[in-house]
Amino acid sequence: MDVKEELTEIHDIKSKIQGDESHGFFKKKIHFLKESIKSLLTQGLTPRKIAMAFAVGFIIGTFPVLGTHTIMGVGMAFLFNMNHLSVYLGLIVSFPFFLLLLLPSLRVGEFILNAMPMDWDRFSSGLKLMANSWDDFLSVFAAYGISIMHTIVGWAIISIVIGLIIYYMVYFASSKIISQIDKP
């Protein structure tokens, strides 16, 4: 199946879901995810391949350096011959978790590297500075580079656990969906 057919299929699924007003916002999103997995499974992808690609996309989507997620996701999909749609779905779903995991990743990295913990005011001012000054990225990195490295180390540890959880959740969900597809 080529990219144009995949996009058409995604559009058709999205149209079906948006046409049904009886579902709430989150039910629509979950239904869209289920329909996307069904679409992938009917293309001959196995639940393992879908789960692996989705988990890789999710992990990359929580990488603590803004602006690298899509490039890394596309690169991993090409490098390891993964389904691009599954990786991309993982990237999209992971965005809220990116923000939730910044502080825990920093704290785990500081603990592992036996570093002095950064106080909350400095952490929040660093986030504001990064959000407002992409033009001056080098000065942000000079001021917060060590903390960014601590965060990346903490993310590497946390992402192993989260990746395994996401992998098994998607694997069991896609296995259940494929068993429902196989039923007459």
State the residue range of the domain holding 75: 45-182
Tell whether 25 is covered by a domain: no
Is 54:46 a contact under the CB 8 Å cutoff?
A: no
pTM over 0.75: no
The pLDDT of 33-51, averaged and rounded, is 76
Q: pLDDT tens-digit profile of 101-155? A: 988 998 999 999 998 888 777 777 766 666 665 566 666 677 777 888 888 999 9
* Helical axes 25-42 vs 47-61, angle rounded to 10°: 130
Quote the Cα angle for 57-66-69, to 5°. 20
pLDDT band at 59 (very low <50, low <70, confident <90, very high): very high
- Averaging pLDDT over each range in 10-24, 66-80, 125-139, which range is the top one? 66-80
* Whole-angstrom distance, CA of residue 52 vs CA of residue 58: 10
Tell whether 102 is covered by a domain: yes
* Whole-angstrom distance, CA of residue 36 vs CA of residue 182: 16
Tell whether 2 is covered by a domain: no
| Count of domains observed in the chain | 1
Place of tokens 């995949």: 6
Tell whether 34 is covered by a domain: no
Place of tokens 């000079």: 142
Is 18:129 a contact under the CB 8 Å cutoff?
A: no
Quick one: tokens of 143? 């001021």
Quick one: tokens of 142? 């000079």
